Structure 1
Amino acid sequence: MLKLGELEASVMDVLWNVAEPMRVREVLDELNQDRNLAYTTVMTVLDNLHRKGWVEREMQNRAYHYRATSSREEATAQTVRELLDSTEDRESVLLHFVQSASEEESDILRRALRRKSRKR
């Protein structure tokens, strides 16, 4: 994801895949199924994600519990929005994107645009 380092993205993946807030130790245990990270490394990453607004935390029994501030889908849509806002030629970007879209993705876009036009 844009604005996230590799480890930050991995931590976010863990948080996005669960319904309940997680302690640092729980996030670490999930991540360490595929690697060998230190507790303090994950704690620092979660603190940085909190500072950046990607996660919120709540103190419970002397330990922070972390949860994502938005869903994976909302975060991805925000990234796309920021990319579009960063270019002067949005039309070109959108046209290139549409050309790369699968038939299923094109159908999804058509349905979303029809719903949007009905709301106006």
Structure 2
Amino acid sequence: MKMHNFKYEGSGLNRFFGPLEAKIMEILWTTTAALTIKEVQAKLDQDKVMNFNTVMTVMNRLVDKGILQKNSVARSFMYKPVVTRDVFMETQSKELTFDLIEEFGSLAVTHMVDALDKVDPDLLDKLELKIKELKKDR
């Protein structure tokens, strides 16, 4: 699943989701079982009172986007993420990287390498190993 609205000004999940979507996803990702809308609403209510219909609308939009799975159980619906948070972030970062390289080519790669030096020196070693693996496989 590729998210189409990446926000540069956000951070974390807020780069991919609206504020309420991000809170809902965080709740569902930190819970091991599927939850109902009321259960999610109750967890959201710890911050402030949230309207049931608003939560339902947002959760159903996340289903439409392919982020949540919705199953009928008894007389209610249970929602759970399609993938884990880690898998989601891995997939989105990969898609974003591919898009940047496709559009900006060597400029994107150069800027990524420059950023590695500022963020974490160990990443340069990992990058060097990855490049060696790629060259070996060709």
- Bin the TM-score by the shorter chain: 0.7 to 0.9
Query: Does 90-99 or 68-77 show the bigger shift?
Result: 90-99
Q: Which runs of 5+ in 1 are unaligned?
A: none
Task: Provide the rounded CA distance (Å) in 1 between the counterparts of 2:129 and 2:31.
Answer: 27
When normalised by structure 1's length, the TM-score is 0.79
Query: 2:44: which partner in 1?
Result: 31
For 1:59, the aligned partner's letter is S
Structure 2: how far apart are the matches of 1:68 and 1:105?
A: 32
Of residues 42, 52, 61 in structure 1, which corresponds to 2:55? Answer: 42
Give the SS at the match of 2:70: strand
Q: TM-score, normalized by length of structure 2?
A: 0.70
Structure 1 distance, partners of 2:22, 2:57, is 14
| Larger gyration radius, structure 1 or structure 2 | 2
Percent identity over paired residues: 24
Instruction: Indicate the larger mover: 59-68 or 98-107.
Output: 98-107
| Range that drifts further, 89-98 or 24-33 | 89-98
Question: 1:106 deviation in Å?
Answer: 1.6
Asked if structure 2 preserves the Cα contact closer than 8 Å seen for 1:23 and 1:64, the reply is: yes
Matches within 5 A, 1:56-67: 56-67=69-80
- Residues 90 and 18 (structure 1 numbering): CA distance in 2 closer, same or farther, change over 3 Å? farther
**Match for residue 54 of structure 1 among 64, 67, 88:** 67
Residue 36 of structure 1: CA displacement?
1.5
Aligned to 2:83: 70
Q: 1:84 to 1:57 in 2, by over 3 A?
A: same
Q: Which residue of 2 aligns with 1:18?
A: 31
- Greater Cα offset, 6-15 or 88-97: 88-97
- Which of 82, 106, 110 is the matching residue for 2:123? 106
Contact persistence 1:24–1:42 (CA under 8 A): yes
